[in-house]
Copies of this chain bind each other. A is one copy, B any other.
Amino acid sequence: MTQRPSKKTTILEVAAEHFSRYGYDATHLEAIAKACDISKPAIYYHFRDKAALYEAVLLERFTALAKVIADNTKSDDPVENLSSYIHTFGTFLVETPCFSAIFAREIADGARSMPESCIVELSKTLNTLASILESGKRQGVFDCENPFMIQMMIVTTLTSYSTTRPLREKVSSVLAEVDRKIDPRLEDITDNLSQKIIKALTC
């Protein structure tokens, strides 16, 4: 028997959709409440304020991300680990659709208002990547790289590809010349990106 999700879980899920779609400021608690079929103060029963709700949504996802990344990069081969890092991230985005836009918005914002707890989780994933690059360098397969830059290449290419679906449609309707070929899925872009980055990094 499948248990019905608790109200708190529902709020978190719906809030993620709204923060993803509209951003922090344009997300209205009243709208979340309506979508959950509860009253606005019911949200305040479960969460101290809007910022706390946002932090809960964020932390849940960053924690899960750090975990799957750590779990899937345990090989001894740096190239395999790097490939797995990228694929794991791509898969996470596919399975956690709201995360792309939330993350992309945070990056655009310089993560100025990102809670410390999330910074810690994010640092873990960066640390994982830095270790992979470092071991690759020791084994002579990679040159010395700036982990943050590589992280940005991976993370922003995939999150942005995920958020720009509406943009791609608009652009391709403007560009009649450019053939409107079928829009690749994020999974395919992930695989493509993985190959490109490995080609670019291996010496």
* Chain A 159-203 interface mask (CB, 8 Å, partner B; 1/0): 111011111101100110110000010000100110011011100
Say whether A171 contacts B101, CB under 8 Å. Answer: no
- Complex copy number for this chain: 2
Within 8 A of B (CB), among A149-166: 149, 152-153, 155-157, 159-161, 163-166
Q: A23-B109, A163-B107, A164-B111 are in contact. Are A147 and B197 (CB under 8 A)?
A: no
Say whether B127 contacts A178, CB under 8 Å. Answer: yes
Q: List 25 A-B contacts (CB under 8 A).
A: A23-B109, A25-B25, A25-B26, A101-B108, A101-B109, A104-B104, A105-B105, A107-B160, A108-B108, A110-B166, A114-B167, A114-B170, A119-B170, A119-B171, A120-B174, A146-B189, A148-B168, A149-B192, A152-B161, A152-B164, A153-B153, A153-B157, A156-B156, A156-B157, A199-B199
